[in-house]
Chains A and B, each alone.
Chain A
Amino acid sequence: MKKYFSVLLVLLALAAVAATMRPARNTTAYDVVGFSRLPALVNGRVKPLDTVARTSLLMLQGRQRVVAPDGRSLAPAEWLLDVLFRPAVADEYQTFEIVHPDVLALMNLTTVDGAGGKRYSFHQLAKGLAELDRQSKLADDTESAVRTPFQRAVVQLRDGVVLYQRLQNTLNASSTADFLDQLARFEKALPAGLAATKGHGGSNPQASAEAKLLLEMSATFGTMESVAYFRAIPPTPGADATAWKTAGTAWSDSLTSGEIAPAALVYAGLGRSWQLHQPEAFNQAVGTYRRALDVAMPSVLRKSDVETRFNSAQPFYTCMFLYVFAFLVAVVSWLKWSDVLGRTAFWLVGGAFLLSTVGIVSRMWIESRPPVTNLYSSALFVGWGAVALCLVLEFFYKNAIGSVAAGLVGFSTLIIAQHLALGGDTMEMMRAVLDSNFWLATHVVTVTVGYSATFLAGFLALIYVLRGTLTRSLNQPTADALAKMIYGVVCFATLIRFVGTVLGGIWADQSWGRFWGWDPKENGALLIVIWNAVILHARWGGLIKQRGLAVLAIFGNVVTAWSWFGVNMLGVGLHSYGFMDSAFWWLIAFVGSQLAVITLAAIPTGNWKSFRPVSASTRPA
């Protein structure tokens, strides 16, 4: 029975993972999925419109789900289509998150008006936009580090509104109701109008109605050109691969060349059929355009398809559940059915690890970069590295400790990543000095694995202390094994952190002519190295035994968290002591929790629940 139960658990998890992997399917007559896979250039990277939609939603409201006023759930790309082509409809979707009470008051709104008490539609905001603009201009004059929470909320909402309006004017002119019809007229009038303009040598360009239309439209194109959020018009064959244009530019260019870029016509057609509810025309346009792109830029399309698939599968989200599941199973295995459940937990962790590997590798392939390029990807990779080490430990020890630690570290790093993703697209272009795949692959990767190892040592130590003080399950062999694991991981952490820091020094010397500059990030790295050295030397000198090792390793969590995140906040956050970023509170809370466990560990071991019945003298001090 035990055995079947464990097989059932693993199968259940597998089925859940498989379910997330299914390709997205259209829920309406429109080929929204096909549309979502079309590529565009945003922030220097070519990405599918699906990513554009999802990251925009994350920036606006912190989640990807949109619920229409009639209660229907929209796919992100469907929402994007409405924003692009049916502005009046999109204005009713409650996709702007406002939580600051003063900002709500400023916009004349109450929590009753919002979906979920915090999401509002553009329509609801429209009346307050002038005041919002005035307030955000006041906030703009304040250095971003010293803004009050109210000012920050105002600026964030203003940025959201700007993003939304830019989206609305990327392929369409939202202020002109029949703009797409005008485009159709423009297309017809173009040859005659141009001829008229040229024929009169510019002396009287309004000679014909066509020329007049051209002149009127060119002003609108100019606006679209300057505000467009993404560049949807691909480069012509043979041109520079990054030379994507905005729709506005493409239409403007037609005024000089007399030819309209095919993609601009496609998007105008898509817009019209979306507006007029003509799914056949819409699907046909998507299909034709897609086939043309498949010929012109197959590799871009391949990436775009994979990225869309990756977006809808959300592998890291699934991993989070798997880690929690594995953690629970492993903890239960300490109480009951230790062999079968222990093995189940191991397989679950293994599955989650495999899934996050697939996720990280796909990100690497899409970006053509080593795994760690920004804070978000470092969170993914720290978790990945720690879980890999846990699997090694579990393989040797088979006492479910590795699985529990993997569940803890894996879940917490993914939660951190989840929050870091709210800033927008997590696959950003690398700023000049970081644009070096060699150093990103060597220095950054080793340093990040170093974070994994120090965190893992700390989490193992947490298990040691919590299990020892709060339960009776920490028997002597388990305690010895845990201590050995902590020690081994600390050794590994010292080595890898040291190598990583040195590689950083070499990079610094190669590009700046100095090996070490006492810069905050360097100091943070140094602190971890020194702390690991302290742990090792204290142990070799006999200053600490098992409990001391655990306490120092837990404090290692504090040091690592500081070096990973605290240092970054220093540059922004601490210029004014009144300002506290929300992430800063999380850091404080984390440090507080670690110190609490350290205090718990200060209880003499004789009084620990696990060690109580036996005479204290035989227990490690």
Chain B
Amino acid sequence: MNDSIRSVRNLFVSLRLTVALLVFGMILVFAATLDQVNLGIWAVQEKYFRSFIVYTRMGDFALPVFPGGYLIGGLLLINLTAAHIYRFTLSWRKSGLFLAHLGLILLLVGELLSGLWQQDYSMRLSEGDTKNYAESFRENELVIVDATDAKFDEVVAIPEKLLARKSPIQHPKLPFRVVPKTYYPNSVLQARRADGPPAEATAGFGERILAAPQPMTYKTDERNLPTAFVELIAPDKSLGIYLVSLHLVMPQEFDYAGKHWKILLRTQRVYQPFTLTLLKFSHDRYAGTEIPKNFSSRLRLKTPDGRDDRDVLIYMNNPLRYAGLTFYQAGFENNDRTTILQVVRNPSWLLPYIACALMTLGLVFQFCIHLFGFVNQRRAKLVPAAA
């Protein structure tokens, strides 16, 4: 083998690399923890862990400053695998460590997969409400609904990302183009006085409203409320510029080409093949205090095919798992009449369990081998001393 290849191999199987990567990992985790104060937990995950390089902004430039989670994790994975293939010998004394590291490989892969696949949504239900969808925490969508038929709606949903990019959108279901004009990721609205500055919108509610951008928030308990101005342009004429905003709960309606349309900016929805109805939300407190003892939501779970139609109870430490989704009690509002459920889809949920079982088994085994070795050694030492 030539020298350069050998030195590369030696690097990748070396414990030095392991130690260096672990230390890098620690610095990354530590920095990410501190930065949560500024960025919030979601942005931190994207910036530090689900990236190859961590950038810092210097004015308009993004300077690479540190290896990201994917890079460190990936190298660690290579290092681990390479070292084990290279040094692999089957022996009792090493078997515990081998198992533990095998588990670790699985754990890293599992974290990678859940980083890629795991999705979080929330579901707000007031008592009596029925819903068959959950809503995204951070993503929004512009929907244009063809509501001509009273029995069903035809919905075209445009992700917020496209609004931010301001690229014109042409959709086969729409007889007009959607042209985003202005986009504020976070905003406030206020009523426009008659003698106030001119409105940017030329149709709908927007004519009476002024919008102003706001700094983005990263707090976990706040969300950004974007506003956009979009112009709808038909082949023959402009249908006007609409102000759409998460502040506006009601859709704006108009007629064009013999059809009745609605336009609305709302949180992105993910539909489920079943419905949940909130029967009762309870908030128990310890006697004579405001300390919460338990939160629970009694819900009715129904599938359209009628196969499932039953009551379920979600409370602290007891989520509902159904159709690959986990619903857990995340909060409440509206004087204890509205429940907030968090909905998690994590197809790789089983991997950490297997990984951790392997690692625990391996570590316990290894620890026992050492402990017994140590005790026997001492006993051997003590016996001649006593004699």
Q: Residue on B with the closest CB to A498?
A: B363
Which one of B287, B367, B370 has the highest number of Cβ atoms from chain A below 10 Å of its Cβ?
B287
Q: Chain A residues near B317 (CB, 8 Å)?
A: 433, 435-436, 439, 507, 510-511
Q: With the chains together, A538 CA to B19 CA distance in Å?
A: 6
Q: Residue on B with the closest CB to A532?
A: B22
Question: Across the interface, do A431 and B292 meet the contact criterion of CB distance under 8 Å?
Answer: yes
Q: Residue on B with the closest CB to A502?
A: B356
Given known contacts A495-B363, A543-B19, A574-B34, A516 and B352 CB-to-CB distance under 8 angstroms: yes
Question: Across the interface, do A505 and B352 meet the contact criterion of CB distance under 8 Å?
Answer: yes
Q: Chain B residues near A492 (CB, 8 Å)?
A: 367
Question: Across the interface, do A514 and B360 meet the contact criterion of CB distance under 8 Å?
Answer: no
Contact of A527 among B29, B287, B291, B370 (CB under 8 A): B29
Give the Cβ gap from B56 to chain A, nearest Cβ, in Å: 18
Question: Across the interface, do B26 and A514 meet the contact criterion of CB distance under 8 Å?
Answer: no
Contact of B352 among A509, A524, A533, A538 (CB under 8 A): A509
In residues 178-237 of chain B, which contact A (Cβ within 8 Å)?
A: none
In residues 361-384 of chain B, which contact A (Cβ within 8 Å)?
A: 363-364, 367, 370, 374, 378
Given known contacts A436-B317, A492-B367, A526-B29, A515 and B352 CB-to-CB distance under 8 angstroms: yes
In residues 285-314 of chain B, which contact A (Cβ within 8 Å)?
A: 285-289, 291-295
Contact of A498 among B15, B41, B295, B359 (CB under 8 A): B359
Given known contacts A505-B352, A518-B49, A530-B22, A513 and B319 CB-to-CB distance under 8 angstroms: yes
Which one of A439, A505, A515 has the highest number of Cβ atoms from chain B below 10 Å of its Cβ?
A515
Task: Tell me the dominant secondary structure on chain B's binding face.
Answer: helix
In residues 134-181 of chain B, which contact A (Cβ within 8 Å)?
A: none
A244 close to chain B: CB less than 8 A:
yes
Give the Cβ gap from B24 to chain A, nearest Cβ, in Å: 10
Q: How large is the interface on B (under 10, 10 to 19, 20 to 34, 35 or more residues)?
A: 35 or more
Q: Chain A residues near B45 (CB, 8 Å)?
A: 518
Q: Residue on B with the closest CB to A575?
A: B37
Given known contacts A432-B292, A495-B363, A511-B319, A534 and B22 CB-to-CB distance under 8 angstroms: yes
Q: Chain B residues near A396 (CB, 8 Å)?
A: 378
Q: Chain A residues near B125 (CB, 8 Å)?
A: none
Q: Chain A residues near B44 (CB, 8 Å)?
A: 518
B114 close to chain A: CB less than 8 A:
yes
Given known contacts A488-B374, A499-B360, A541-B14, A515 and B19 CB-to-CB distance under 8 angstroms: no
Contact of A432 among B41, B289, B294, B346 (CB under 8 A): B294
Q: Residue on B with the closest CB to A513?
A: B326
Q: Chain A residues near B360 (CB, 8 Å)?
A: 498-499, 502
Give the Cβ gap from B120 to chain A, nearest Cβ, in Å: 8
Question: Across the interface, do A519 and B367 meet the contact criterion of CB distance under 8 Å?
Answer: no
In residues 282-302 of chain A, which contact B (Cβ within 8 Å)?
A: none
Question: Across the interface, do A243 and B15 meet the contact criterion of CB distance under 8 Å?
Answer: no
A540 close to chain B: CB less than 8 A:
yes
Q: Chain A residues near B363 (CB, 8 Å)?
A: 494-495, 498-499
Q: Residue on B with the closest CB to A44?
A: B286
A115 close to chain B: CB less than 8 A:
no
Q: Chain A residues near B33 (CB, 8 Å)?
A: 520, 523-524, 567, 570
Question: Across the interface, do B22 and A512 meet the contact criterion of CB distance under 8 Å?
Answer: no
Q: With the chains together, A574 CA to B30 CA distance in Å?
A: 14
Question: Across the interface, do B316 and A513 meet the contact criterion of CB distance under 8 Å?
Answer: no
Give the Cβ gap from B342 to chain A, nearest Cβ, in Å: 7
B19-39 CB mask vs A (1 if < 8 Å, else 0) is 100110110011011101100
In residues 242-288 of chain B, which contact A (Cβ within 8 Å)?
A: 285-288
Question: Across the interface, do A570 and B34 meet the contact criterion of CB distance under 8 Å?
Answer: yes
Give the Cβ gap from B373 to chain A, nearest Cβ, in Å: 11
Q: With the chains together, A494 CA to B100 CA distance in Å?
A: 12
A462 close to chain B: CB less than 8 A:
no
Given known contacts A512-B342, A575-B37, A435 and B328 CB-to-CB distance under 8 angstroms: no
B71 close to chain A: CB less than 8 A:
no
B344 close to chain A: CB less than 8 A:
yes
Give the Cβ gap from B381 to chain A, nearest Cβ, in Å: 11
Contact of B291 among A44, A533, A541, A575 (CB under 8 A): A44
Question: Across the interface, do B367 and A491 meet the contact criterion of CB distance under 8 Å?
Answer: yes
B349 close to chain A: CB less than 8 A:
yes
B57 close to chain A: CB less than 8 A:
no
Q: Residue on A with the closest CB to B348?
A: A515
Give the Cβ gap from A431 to chain B, nearest Cβ, in Å: 6
Contact of B359 among A433, A502, A515, A526 (CB under 8 A): A502
Given known contacts A524-B33, A527-B29, A574-B37, A515 and B294 CB-to-CB distance under 8 angstroms: no
Q: Chain A residues near B114 (CB, 8 Å)?
A: 514-516
Q: With the chains together, A420 CA to B36 CA distance in Å?
A: 26
A117 close to chain B: CB less than 8 A:
no
B127 close to chain A: CB less than 8 A:
no
Q: Chain A residues near B349 (CB, 8 Å)?
A: 509, 513-515
Q: Chain B residues near A488 (CB, 8 Å)?
A: 370, 374
Q: Residue on B with the closest CB to A429?
A: B286
Question: Across the interface, do A513 and B29 meet the contact criterion of CB distance under 8 Å?
Answer: no
Q: Chain A residues near B120 (CB, 8 Å)?
A: 514
A58 close to chain B: CB less than 8 A:
no
Q: With the chains together, A499 CA to B41 CA distance in Å?
A: 25
In residues 465-521 of chain A, which contact B (Cβ within 8 Å)?
A: 488, 491-492, 494-495, 498-499, 502, 505-507, 509-520
Question: Across the interface, do A520 and B36 meet the contact criterion of CB distance under 8 Å?
Answer: yes
Question: Across the interface, do A511 and B359 meet the contact criterion of CB distance under 8 Å?
Answer: no
A33 close to chain B: CB less than 8 A:
no
Q: Chain A residues near B295 (CB, 8 Å)?
A: 432
A231 close to chain B: CB less than 8 A:
yes
Contact of A429 among B14, B289, B342 (CB under 8 A): B289
Q: Chain B residues near A451 (CB, 8 Å)?
A: none
Q: With the chains together, A499 CA to B356 CA distance in Å?
A: 8
Q: With the chains together, A570 CA to B37 CA distance in Å?
A: 7
Q: Chain B residues near A531 (CB, 8 Å)?
A: 26
Q: Chain B residues near A520 (CB, 8 Å)?
A: 33, 36
Q: With the chains together, A264 CA to B296 CA distance in Å?
A: 36
Question: Across the interface, do B287 and A244 meet the contact criterion of CB distance under 8 Å?
Answer: yes
In residues 124-158 of chain A, which contact B (Cβ within 8 Å)?
A: none
B6 close to chain A: CB less than 8 A:
no
Q: Chain A residues near B29 (CB, 8 Å)?
A: 523, 526-527, 530
Question: Across the interface, do A530 and B352 meet the contact criterion of CB distance under 8 Å?
Answer: no
Give the Cβ gap from A613 to chain B, nearest Cβ, in Å: 28
Question: Across the interface, do A44 and B288 meet the contact criterion of CB distance under 8 Å?
Answer: yes
Given known contacts A244-B288, A537-B18, A516 and B319 CB-to-CB distance under 8 angstroms: no
Question: Across the interface, do B36 and A527 meet the contact criterion of CB distance under 8 Å?
Answer: no
Q: Residue on A with the closest CB to B294?
A: A432
B92 close to chain A: CB less than 8 A:
no
Give the Cβ gap from A93 to chain B, nearest Cβ, in Å: 27
Give the Cβ gap from A110 to chain B, nearest Cβ, in Å: 38
Q: With the chains together, A518 CA to B291 CA distance in Å?
A: 27
Give the Cβ gap from A239 to chain B, nearest Cβ, in Å: 12
Contact of A534 among B19, B294, B316, B353 (CB under 8 A): B19
In residues 34-62 of chain B, which contact A (Cβ within 8 Å)?
A: 34, 36-37, 41, 44-45, 49
Give the Cβ gap from A98 to chain B, nearest Cβ, in Å: 28
Which one of B23, B34, B120, B291 has the highest number of Cβ atoms from chain A below 10 Å of its Cβ?
B291
Question: Across the interface, do B19 and A537 meet the contact criterion of CB distance under 8 Å?
Answer: yes
B118 close to chain A: CB less than 8 A:
yes
Q: Chain B residues near A543 (CB, 8 Å)?
A: 15-16, 19
Given known contacts A44-B286, A429-B291, A534-B23, A541 and B16 CB-to-CB distance under 8 angstroms: yes
Closest 9 pairs (CB-CB, A-B) = A44-B286, A541-B15, A513-B326, A513-B344, A242-B287, A502-B356, A515-B352, A511-B317, A432-B292
21 pairs across A/B with beta carbons < 8 Å?
A43-B289, A242-B287, A429-B286, A435-B294, A498-B363, A512-B319, A512-B328, A513-B319, A513-B349, A515-B114, A515-B352, A518-B32, A518-B41, A523-B32, A531-B26, A537-B15, A537-B18, A538-B19, A541-B16, A567-B33, A570-B36
Beyond known contacts A538-B19, A570-B37, A575-B37: 18 more, CB 8 A cutoff: A43-B286, A44-B287, A44-B289, A44-B293, A435-B316, A439-B317, A495-B367, A505-B356, A509-B353, A510-B317, A512-B326, A513-B349, A514-B120, A514-B344, A515-B352, A517-B41, A527-B30, A570-B36
